[in-house]
Amino acid sequence: MITPYIPDKKAYDEVFNSEGKIRPHYHAILEHFVKYTPEKFRGLIDDVKLILNNEGVTFAVYSDTMKATERIFPFDIIPRLITRSKWDKLEKGVLQRNEAINLFLHDLYHDQETIKAGIVPEKMITSSVHYLDKMKGFTPPGGVYNHISGTDIIRHNDGEFYVLEDNIRSPSGVSYVISNRRTLKKTFPGLFASYKTARVDNYSSDLLDMLQSVAPDPLEADPKCVVLTPGIYNSAYYEHTWLAQSMGIRLVEGRDLSVKNDCVYMKTINGIEKVDVIYRRIDDAFLDPEAFREDSMLGVPGLFRAYLSGNVTLVNAPGTGVADDKAVYTFMPEIIKFFFGSDVEIGLNNVPTYKCEEDDDFKYVLENLNNLVVKPVDESGGYGISIGNQLTEEELDTLADTLKKARRKYIAQPIMSLSMQPTYIEDTNTVEPRHVDLRTFCLKGGNGYEKVLAGGLTRVALRKGNLIVNSSQGGGSKDTWVIE
């Protein structure tokens, strides 16, 4: 293609095996790319940028002054391929995990059998900032809490997949899955000829089906669904608009909605219309100034009251964030066995994790800080992460002091070797190995409805040696193919 690609032997390479030979399912892709001269290749990269810019595929990055900068979402044109047999195993593990999370959430807000059985410590739940006491005793329509789940999966150098974390509140990134596929087809129309690739463009219709399946009134023939956004200054606003447009439903802000007689109504040019389902992209705390933060200008007064009255469905349910608390994540293997039986085969294993709140774990963390990744339990987007072997002695001492002051707020994990994938580096016009992960998207609705988007979002750390793949930390993404 451009320059010889040299795999990094310290990590699992998705394209080349340990002997440096191309994995069979990548042969046709590489044969296609090697036909291009460096000049032609760079021209195609410019075409990609133009497509993404014209379609407004952007995200916002906030500086220390909280000033937002709008950027084109970085997209690498060399796709990641997952064979159908491997994907089927991944999908089964994702479905198992998210069913267990839903059962766990129902249990936490009802009988709390997992706490009584000693599976999860009560203090771990009640001390989570995302646990909502107001949800106790309430069951959402269809019994579904985590309607949309984002499971972050890595492949370690042993070739096995592990769950790095769960995203249950409002996982983002699915719009880039669709834009990546659309952009690659426009730029390299012949690239798909040698493969039978699973579709991703049916996600919007699947999502709408799921939303309608959890409407408060199961007999409603055409439930009114909307997407609730914080507004144009949110980093994921492009995705909010895409979601609404692709489903053919309204994108609304809090000021567009009102509550009357415990029902939610939307302002339209034809008057007000009753709303049945709200896919909200607003955190719990800002949903309703009457029930949560009084200073919220983003939510709808009375919305939570309408929800508890059973007149509107919120997707995802309030209080689901307790399940993606990174300390609670550590108990997922035990939670799965609690609900499905002690002899059940766990489809996807956790990354080994140490809870700083527990004395033995905390002692180990302090003694091995230079070999661990430390994460806040309630942050997302890659913020607040410290990678021990990249810190100076002074920085390690500062981190240790921080942990001592707020042990519940942090967990630690071994520095896992994320798999690598050939990635085009524009600055040097070369193809080099870069670390990748995979965010899968699972839909769960009423009447047993469940689907996993084929492939999901492969995120890539564009900086050499970087293990943090989040776009807010300089990462990009790749098109992900599930192939027969």
**Percentage of residues in the chain having pLDDT higher than 90:** 75
Q: What is the pLDDT of residues 116-160, one digit of tens each?
A: 999 999 999 999 999 999 999 999 999 999 999 999 999 999 999
pLDDT at 418 over 70: yes
Measured distance CA(62)–CA(290) in Å, rounded: 29
pLDDT at 66 over 70: no
440 phi/psi in degrees, rounded to 5: -95, 155
**Percentage of residues in the chain having pLDDT higher than 70:** 96
Compute the half-sphere exposure of residue 370: CA atoms within 13 Å on the CB side of its CA: 6
pLDDT at 67 over 80: no
Q: In what order do the strands lie in the sheet with 225-228?
A: 250-252, 225-228, 277-280, 313-315
Any idea which of 123-137, 217-231, 319-333, 468-482 has the lowest mean pLDDT?
468-482
List the domains of the chain with CATH numbers. 217-311 (3.40.50.11290), 355-415 (3.30.1490.270)
Residues 94-105 as b/e (b if ≥16 CB within 10 A, e otherwise) read bbbbbbbbbbbb
Measured distance CA(178)–CA(242) in Å, rounded: 10
Kindly report the number of other CB atoms within 10 A of residue 4's CB atom: 7
Any idea which of 49-53, 164-168, 236-240, 444-448 has the lowest mean pLDDT?
49-53
pLDDT the model gives residue 378? 81
pLDDT the model gives residue 171? 93
pLDDT the model gives residue 85? 96
pLDDT the model gives residue 12? 95
pLDDT the model gives residue 265? 98
Measured distance CA(435)–CA(480) in Å, rounded: 15
Q: What is the pLDDT of residues 9-57, one digit of tens each?
A: 889 999 999 999 999 999 999 998 888 888 888 888 888 888 888 887 8
pLDDT the model gives residue 70? 67
pLDDT the model gives residue 53? 83
Q: What is the pLDDT of residues 383-395, one digit of tens each?
A: 788 998 999 999 9
- The mean per-residue pLDDT over the stretch 328-344 comes to 96
pLDDT the model gives residue 392? 93
Q: What is the pLDDT of residues 196-212, one digit of tens each?
A: 999 999 999 999 999 99
Q: What is the pLDDT of residues 304-317, one digit of tens each?
A: 999 999 999 999 99
User: What value does the mean pLDDT of the chain take?
Assistant: 92
> Taking a C-beta distance cutoff of 8 angstroms, is the pair 21, 15 a contact?
no
The C-alpha torsion from 283 through 289 and 293 to 299, rounded to 10°, is 20
Q: What is the pLDDT of residues 275-301, one digit of tens each?
A: 999 999 999 999 999 999 999 999 999
pLDDT the model gives residue 59? 67
**382 band by pLDDT with thresholds 50, 70 and 90:** low
- For residue 469, count CB atoms less than 10 angstroms from its CB and return exposed for 0-12, middle for 13-18, buried for 19 or more: buried
